[in-house]
């Protein structure tokens, strides 16, 4: 296994410092994926994988034909797309692009067709359309397949499965695979949720691990490669300056939505536990201004639900009545009543417990029927069985401890950061 490390480039640091002094801001609202000029707020402490690769003058890719798996989150410290950086890299030939779910612009909510990148003229092969794995034809003449996408830090977020499928294809067709590492937006310390049952692996659950796994995509790639016996010729380009305790809003990097509804770091922390409520017919606010920070249905009494949830004293969170109209997901285009969710203490807040507490309260208030389907995203039959029995959420969470300890011990050898 290879790991690429370099010392910080003094020139890069001076450049970034001068740019920062110009006072330019890089906001999510103003972000343009094809722009060459947006400037970040990162003062220069953290460099993600593409920045480190640039500092190394692309030595590991010189003389290679490269395929790139990316979307709008694949940008360097200066806001340049990884696509454009590699397309102009000396003695590197970028010959094909690949996009995950939501497409190259991370804006689609349906399957995505192949297309062409206007700036480079390169073919973009969709891995969320006719196929979810690169084919022999797609990989023809490629020497190295590079992956540069910001993950959400959640097991059922499909970008990590796309990465794993690409690793498997790289192994199958005899090409190298490189991961340009990026932060886990939820940090690298807190692990929570049930472990995926081994017989429930799917596109939304590639590997038996907890919902929140506290690893970067580079660390995950190493674990998948060894434990899942992918055995790809894997190279990880680590970040410089990231600490396991760092959440995304502590990195100085601008938040670029990795998918249409994951619009803020605040929503990213709530997302894992709230997303599973959709399988019970609850809207999680898709298409509103604050997806995952509101939940409801047309029949819920929002005031009653907020009162009941606040009385539970769930650590680190408060609820208030809310009315909204989602444009996607359950109850799309219907007026929904429910609650807004505000994290007041991220240290004590646990998204999965929060989701279970909301679900139990909805059932107790007869706001949703106590009928549990496969609960695909939860991915744990024992957890579903306990929910059916009416076990208290705190007890269900405590029941995950042994599995979480085993996972924590297993993942240790694949960690790249302290």
Taking only the tens place, the pLDDT of each residue in 204-227 is 999 999 999 999 999 999 999 999
Same domain, yes or no: 224 and 289: no
Tell me the C-alpha to C-alpha distance, in Å, between residue 258 and each of 168, 244, 254: 23, 21, 12
Backbone angles phi, psi at 81, to 5 degrees: -60, 140
CATH number of the domain within which 183 lies: 3.40.50.12170
- pLDDT for 39-78, tens place per residue? 445 555 799 999 999 999 999 999 999 999 999 999 999 9
Q: Which of 195, 228, 260 represents a domain boundary (last residue)?
A: 260
The answer to whether residues 206 and 73 belong to one domain is: yes
Q: Last residue of some domain: 235, 260, 285? A: 260
Task: With both helix axes pointing from N to C terminus, report the angle between 381-389 and 351-364 in degrees, rounded to the nearest 10.
Answer: 40
256 and 281 in a single domain? The answer is: no
**Are residues 286 and 216 located together in one domain of the fold?**
no
**Residue of 16, 33, 14 lying closest to 24 (CA atoms):** 16
Is there a single domain that holds both residue 198 and residue 300? no
- pLDDT tens, residue by residue, 126-171: 999 999 999 999 999 999 999 999 999 999 999 999 999 999 999 9
Look at residue 410 and give its three-state secondary structure: helix
User: Which among 253, 258, 179 is positioned nearest to 218, based on CA atoms?
Assistant: 179
pLDDT at 11: 34
| Stronger pLDDT, 120 or 34, i.e. the higher one | 120
Domain boundary among 204, 226, 260: 260
**Same domain, yes or no: 338 and 364:** yes
**Residue 405 placed within a domain:** no
Q: In terms of domains, do 174 and 121 share one?
A: yes
**Which residue's structure tokens are 């819920």?**
300
Q: Mean pLDDT score of the chain, rounded to an integer?
A: 91
Domain extent for 310 = 265-379
Residue 192, φ and ψ in degrees, nearest 5 = -155, 165
| Average pLDDT of span 367-373 | 89
Output the six-digit token pair for 276: 């599973």
Q: Looking at the domain assignment, is residue 388 inside a domain?
A: no
211 in the same domain as 278: no
Strands across the sheet with 317-324, in order? 294-297, 336-343, 317-324
pLDDT > 70? residue 382: yes
- CATH code of the domain covering residue 295: 3.90.1150.140
In a domain, 386, yes or no: no
For residue 418, being part of any structural domain is answered with no
Beta bridge partners of 317: 343
Question: Does the pLDDT at position 111 exceed 90?
Answer: yes
pLDDT score at 43? 52
Q: Tell me, yes or no, whether 142 and 276 share the same domain.
A: no
C-alpha Rg value of the chain to the nearest Å: 21
- The single residue listed with the structure tokens 């890299």 is 89
> pTM for the full model?
0.90
CA-based max dimension of the chain:
64
DSSP annotation string for 106-154? T--SS----EE-TTT--EEEESSSS-SS--TTTTTT-SEEEEE----SB
HSE-CB for 215 with a 13 A CA cutoff: 24
Q: pLDDT at position 15, please?
A: 36
In a domain, 390, yes or no: no
Same-domain check for residues 323 and 251: no
- Whether 102 is in a domain gets the answer yes
Look at residue 410 and tell me whether its pLDDT is greater than 70.
yes
> What is the number of domains present in the chain?
2
The verdict on residue 398 lying in a domain is: no
Percent share of the chain, pLDDT over 70? 89
Residue 14 has pLDDT above 70, yes or no: no
Closest CA to 224 of 247, 213, 129, 237: 213
- On whether both 243 and 338 belong to a single domain, the answer is no
Q: Is residue 326 domain-resident?
A: yes
User: Do 56 and 141 share a structural domain?
Assistant: yes
pLDDT in tens, 393-405: 999 999 999 999 9
């Amino acid at each position: 296994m290879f790991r690429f490390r370099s010392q910080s480039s003094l020139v890069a640091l001076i450049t970034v410092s001068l740019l920062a002094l110009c006072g330019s801001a890089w906001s999510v609202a103003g972000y343009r994926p094809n722009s060459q000029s947006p400037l970040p707020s990162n003062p220069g402490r953290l460099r993600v994988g593409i920045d480190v690769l640039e500092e190394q003058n692309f030595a590991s890719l010189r003389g290679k034909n490269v395929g790139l798996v990316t979307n709008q989150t694949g940008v360097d410290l200066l806001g340049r797309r990884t696509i454009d950086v590699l397309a102009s890299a000396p003695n590197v030939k970028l010959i094909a692009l690949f996009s995950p779910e939501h497409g190259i612009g991370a804006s689609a909510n349906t399957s995505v067709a192949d297309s062409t990148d206007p700036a480079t003229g390169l073919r973009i092969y969709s891995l969320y359309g006719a196929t979810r794995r690169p084919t022999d034809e797609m990989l023809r003449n490629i020497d190295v397949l590079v992956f540069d996408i910001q993950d959400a830090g959640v097991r059922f977020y499909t970008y990590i499965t796309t990465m794993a499928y690409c690793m498997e294809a790289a192994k199958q067709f005899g090409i190298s695979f490189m991961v340009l590492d990026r932060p886990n937006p939820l940090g690298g310390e807190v692990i929570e949720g049930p472990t995926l049952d081994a017989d429930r692996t799917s596109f939304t659950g590639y590997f038996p691990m907890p919902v929140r796994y506290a690893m970067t995509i580079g660390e995950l790639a190493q674990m998948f490669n060894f434990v899942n016996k992918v055995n790809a010729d894997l190279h990880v380009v680590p970040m410089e300056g990231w600490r396991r305790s760092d959440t995304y809003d502590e990195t100085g990097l601008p938040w670029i939505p990795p998918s249409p509804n994951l619009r803020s770091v605040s929503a990213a922390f709530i997302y894992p536990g709230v997303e599973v409520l959709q399988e019970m017919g609850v809207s999680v606010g898709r298409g509103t201004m604050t997806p995952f920070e509101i939940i409801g249905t047309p029949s819920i009494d929002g005031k009653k639900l907020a009162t009941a949830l606040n009385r539970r004293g769930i650590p680190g969170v408060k609820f208030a009545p809310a009315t909204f109209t989602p444009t996607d997901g359950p109850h799309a285009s219907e007026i929904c009543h429910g609650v807004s969710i505000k994290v007041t203490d991220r240290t004590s807040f646990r998204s999965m417990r929060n989701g279970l507490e909301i679900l139990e309260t909805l059932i107790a208030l007869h706001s949703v029927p106590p009928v549990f389907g496969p609960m695909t995203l939860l991915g744990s039959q024992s957890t579903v069985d306990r929910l059916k029995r009416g076990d208290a959420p705190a007890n269900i969470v405590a029941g995950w401890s042994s599995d979480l300890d085993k996972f924590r011990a297993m993942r240790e050898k694949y960690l790249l950061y302290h």
